Amino acid sequence: MPTLKLASWNINSVRARLPIVGQLIEAEAPDIICLQETKVRDSQFPHADFEEAGYVHRYLHGQPMHHGVAILSKVPLQEERRYDWQDNGEARHIGVRLPNGVLLENVYIPAGGDVPDREENPKFGQKLDFYERMIRWSEALDVPTIMMGDFNIAPLECDVWSHKQLLGVVSHTPLECETMERLRASNDWVDIGREFVAAPERLYTWWSYRAKDWRKSDRGRRLDHVWVSPELKSQVKAHRVLEDARSWDRPSDHIPLITELEL
DNA sequence: ATGGTCGGTTCCCGA
């Protein structure tokens, strides 16, 4: 039974983050890396850097400027599909099949703008609609699946620095949290983050760039997640977040998540 | 106290 080490990281531009992606590879040597917000068209992806690091299998879904996801792997995978859950062509998903048939879905769910109101802010409605399309996909899933990425919702009270102060802030509104829970329930998904760091223990994956001292103010949110189908739950052997990465040179505002599975 | 900072097709926009 080989152990597979997976990393998930919203890196907010793969080109700007190349040095610290290298730092992650040196520190953790993951077998497979799921990146979100690569912000690069596929033809300009920094292939050589990942080739040199041993990630000779790459599966990209990028676009100019915004969004973009990538799966980088030391082991050969089979590209399965790129879902357009956004329904407007934005590059927010890529899925692959692992050698044993398990599906790996890498997703970047939209942030949803600033105002939590469909009428006033179309981006908020697009985010909810994205979740609804995922729910329809998830309900029909009949293959063991690992899903990871930036879900852009912090569902539990303990997933944000202040539940009360964030109730009206996009990423933690009751409507978003309920919608996310409907997605979770639709395939009985297991929230691996909370399997390893049980609520109500503090667990964040994102801190705003705008804080003077992110660690001191610690106004974090758990926006990034790893979910697995229930039949895979017992095969997940380890999971942790690399909080120190928020202090690496020219950091992302998100930190990497590391998950080890026996497959 | 209602700001603040990133990245990119960069003097705006999305996050």
Angle value at C-alpha A102, between A96 and A107, nearest 5 degrees: 45
pTM of the model: 0.97
Assign residue A163 the CATH number of its domain: 3.60.10.10
The neighbour count for residue A59, using CB atoms within 10 Å, is 21
How long is the CA A110 to C1' B1 vector, in angstroms? 29
Q: Could you give the number of structural domains in chain A? A: 1
Among A158, A175, A130, A150, which residue's Cα sits nearest to residue A226?
Answer: A150
Low-confidence ranges of chain A (pLDDT < 70): 1
Catalytic residue (choose from A150, A159, A191, A224): A150
Q: Look up tokens 């039949």; give the residue.
A: A231
Burial label, A38 (beta-carbon count in 10 A; 0-12, 13-18, 19+): buried
User: What 3-state class would DSSP assign to A160?
Assistant: strand
Instruction: Check if residue A66 sits with its Cβ under 7 angstroms from strand B.
Output: yes
Reply yes or no on whether A31 is catalytic: no
Q: Residue A70: beta bridge partners?
A: A35, A60
Instruction: Check if residue A250 sits with its Cβ under 7 angstroms from strand B.
Output: yes
Does A12 belong to an annotated binding site? no
- Which amino acid is present at A187? N
CA atoms of A28 and A20, how far apart (whole Å) = 12
The whole-number pLDDT of residue A2 equals: 85
Question: Within its chain, how far is the Cα of A41 from the centroid?
Answer: 19
How long is the CA A23 to C1' B13 vector, in angstroms? 30
The whole-number pLDDT of residue A1 equals: 66
The neighbour count for residue A218, using CB atoms within 10 Å, is 12
List of residues 6+ apart from A210 with CB closer than 8 A: none
The whole-number pLDDT of residue A80 equals: 85
Count H helices and E strands in chain A, helices first. Answer: 7, 14
CB A4 within 8 A of CB A31: yes
Reply yes or no on whether A244 is catalytic: no
CA atoms of A54 and A26, how far apart (whole Å) = 11
- Which amino acid is present at A70? A
Residue A129: give the domain boundaries: 3-262
Q: Which helix (H) or strand (E) holds A195?
A: helix A192-196
Does A253 belong to an annotated binding site? yes
- What pLDDT digit, counting tens, does each position of A203-243 carry? 999 999 999 999 999 999 999 999 999 999 999 999 999 99
Residue A34 φ/ψ, nearest 5 degrees = -100, 120
CB A235 within 8 A of CB A226: no
Q: Look up tokens 């690069």; give the residue.
A: A40
